[in-house]
Amino acid sequence: AEGFSSSRDAITDEDLLHVSERLYQADHNKARPSDIAINPQYQASPDETGDQEDRSPQPLYKYVNEELFSKPTYASFVKLLDNYQRVTGREEEVTAEELREQDNFLKEVMKTELMKELFAFLHEKNRYGSEREFVADLKEMWFGLYSRGDGEQDSSGFEHVFSGRARPSGTGGAGQRRAGGLTPGSRFSLGEVKKGKVSGFHNWIRFYLLEKQGMVNYFSHNFNGPWDTYPAVLGLQFSWDGFYKEVGSAFIGCSPEFEFGLYTLCFIARPGRACHLSLGGYSLSIRTYAWTKSTYGNGKNYIATAYVISP
């Protein structure tokens, strides 16, 4: 079922619970409780998340210790966020500097105990023969370009998940969900995302920076996870430059490598299915989808989307 003939190479549900706890403990760059103060305000009921009503007059983030952003993995991550066109259908022009920024981000995250722990696990399961092979595949699956529009190389997994997309209301329709992947032109992220709404955009750092600039308006939340420290999980509603996100899930206070590593683990182990993990003794599930219209290497899939499944 996992694509391997030997049962010892299969990634079991128990394996995922154990390795996710190890990654959780290895997130040494996460925010401390004193580094972030959030103000969740109004909790929306299921029938209120789609009404686009701002029930929280204050910003979500009351305070963030921006010294976090001087840490190497944070700094290299933030540099990637301005490399993308916000609207689908516009060809991405990847400069030499942007390629260097991708390589630097991968270099910095691979220095962390968390990503070394992830590689060791995947190496033990015969997914990768060397760390060099692992890094090369990370670059392709996350940063490789594919078309969500009319043939333009306009998107990547990293952009969709961490930076986000807005589809203008005059283009296309709702995406169709398909087992194991997304159909071309789809916008699936926590349900079908119809035209004129935000696609992807699950990262707390990106949200904080845009909220600080006045480009994101927090409306409400529908889920606040049980964690009493960081990383935590929040399901939220917001608008971004006039585009609405009905239910967006986000880790709060995790390091870039933590989110990047968990999504990678689940994409490799459970693409197109719920990936059940354990963080600090609490259950959590992640859903990833592969982009199936185009491939790289020997038929490998790019990441289409990845996000936390919130109740």
Write the pLDDT tens digit of every residue in 209-268: 999 999 999 999 999 989 989 999 999 999 987 888 888 889 999 999 999 999 999 999
Q: Are 37 and 58 in contact (CB under 8 A)?
A: no
Query: 183 vs 12, which has greater pLDDT?
Result: 12
Distance CA(311)–CA(296), nearest Å, equals 34
Most confident of 155-159, 259-263, 297-301: 259-263
pLDDT band, residue 37 (cuts 50/70/90): very high
Q: How confident is the model at residue 178 (pLDDT cuts 50, 70, 90)?
A: very low
Percentage of residues in the chain with pLDDT exceeding 70?
80
Instruction: Say if residue 238 is exposed, middle or buried (CB neighbours under 10 Å; 0-12, 13-18, 19+).
Output: buried
- Asked if the model's pLDDT at residue 88 lies above 60, the reply is no
At what angle are helices 256-269 and 113-124 packed, to 10 degrees?
10
| pTM score, whole prediction | 0.85
State the pLDDT at residue 169.
Answer: 41
Whether 216 is in a domain gets the answer yes
For the cut 70, the answer to whether the pLDDT of residue 33 exceeds it is: yes
Helix or strand (DSSP H, E) at 21: helix 13-25
Give the pLDDT confidence score for residue 95 in this predicted structure. Answer: 80
Name residue 146's beta-bridge partners: 155
Active site residues: 160, 202, 245
The per-residue pLDDT for 143 is 92
**Mean pLDDT value across residues 192-213:** 75
For residue 65, pLDDT beyond 60: yes
Q: How many domains does the chain have?
A: 1
Answer whether residue 98 shows pLDDT above 90: no
Q: CB count, 10 Å around CB of 131? A: 14
Least confident of 145-154, 180-189, 250-259: 180-189
Among the listed residues 250, 248, 245, 249, the one whose alpha carbon sits nearest the alpha carbon of residue 194: 245
Q: Is residue 173 part of a domain?
A: no
**Within-domain flag for 231:** yes
Question: Is 26 inside any structural domain?
Answer: yes
pLDDT for res 109? 98
How does the average pLDDT of the chain come out, rounded? 83
Look at residue 179 and tell me if it is in a domain.
Answer: no
User: Which of 150 and 130 is assigned the larger pLDDT?
Assistant: 130
Q: What per-residue confidence (pLDDT) applies to 241?
A: 79
DSSP 94-122: --HHHHHHHHHHHHHHTTSHHHHHHHHHH
Q: Can you give the residue range of the structural domain that contains 238?
A: 13-168+191-309
Within-domain flag for 104: yes
For the chain, give percent helix, strand, coil, nearest 5. 30, 25, 40
Kindly provide the b/e burial profile for residues 37-51, where b requires at least 16 CB atoms within 10 angstroms of the residue's own CB. ebebebebeeebbee
pLDDT at 8 (0 to 100) = 73
Looking at the predicted structure, is the pLDDT value of residue 183 above 70? no
* Higher local confidence (pLDDT), 309 or 131: 131
